[in-house]
Amino acid sequence: MADLALAPLGPGATPAAGWDTLRDEPGPDAVRCLALYTRLAAGVTVVTALDAAGRPAGMTVSALTSVSARPPLLLACLRAGSQTLTAVRERGAFAVSFLSERQRGVAERFADPALSPAARFAGVPVRQVLGVPVLSGALAWSVCLVEDVRRYGDHDAVVGRVRAVEAGAGRPLLWHDRTFHALVPLPPRTASASPPSQASPVPAPSQAEPASLPSQGGGS
């Protein structure tokens, strides 16, 4: 059974009139929520931008997802108060470099809070695309204009409209359970594997309304 982490009412106590357990209970604390978040597996990216003085800023980000294909939008969650977020707000543009499994060192460098923005970029090959710094050697990259920025808790959700994109070949660097991983394909299914149940076949889509396919980028 799921652990709801509800606050106990105490012996003999009853909920007040109009009490809504779902909305009025305090819910799980940050420790429980972080334990939940570590179960997610995500690609590792570096978000980069230029600040108001034209200096590069960047940080490692794993909370990134596609939002829409038409128009092309993606969303990145950046830590509130970070220099990278400030630069993104100031210039209204940013780049996302999707790291390959060979770029763990780059991910660690841009995640190190002890390093200044200049130190993070030191020795890292960078090229300018539409006036925004993009990490060379990345698995893929996109340059975006800021569409919207909203604060949610200790992070800001930044929606970007994709203006340029390039996708190469290779395997991504992954983040799961507070450590880096490489993507390993599952072995092919064997002939002895149980086939899907035939009891409830999927009905054919209506000819008037074609079936809607899920986004390949993970957006919903």
The CB density around residue 105, as the number of other CB atoms within 10 Å, is 10
Segment 206-213 shows an average pLDDT of: 35
**DSSP strand pairing (56-61 vs 72-79):** unpaired
Say if CB 75 and CB 64 are below 8 A apart: yes
The per-residue pLDDT of the chain, averaged, comes to: 84
pLDDT-based confidence at 220, cuts 50/70/90? Answer: very low
* Proportion of the chain above pLDDT 70, given as a percent: 80
Q: Which of 12-26, 35-49, 189-203 has the highest mean pLDDT?
A: 35-49
pLDDT-based confidence at 12, cuts 50/70/90? Answer: low
* 138: CB partners within 8 A, 6+ apart: 46, 97, 98, 99, 100, 103, 168
CA distances from 197 to 187, 201, 203, 205 (A): 22, 8, 14, 19
Q: Against a cut of 0.85, is the pTM above it?
A: no
Task: Say yes or no to pLDDT of 38 above 60.
Answer: yes
**What's the pLDDT tens digit per position in 78-126?**
999 999 999 999 999 999 999 999 999 999 999 999 999 999 999 999 9
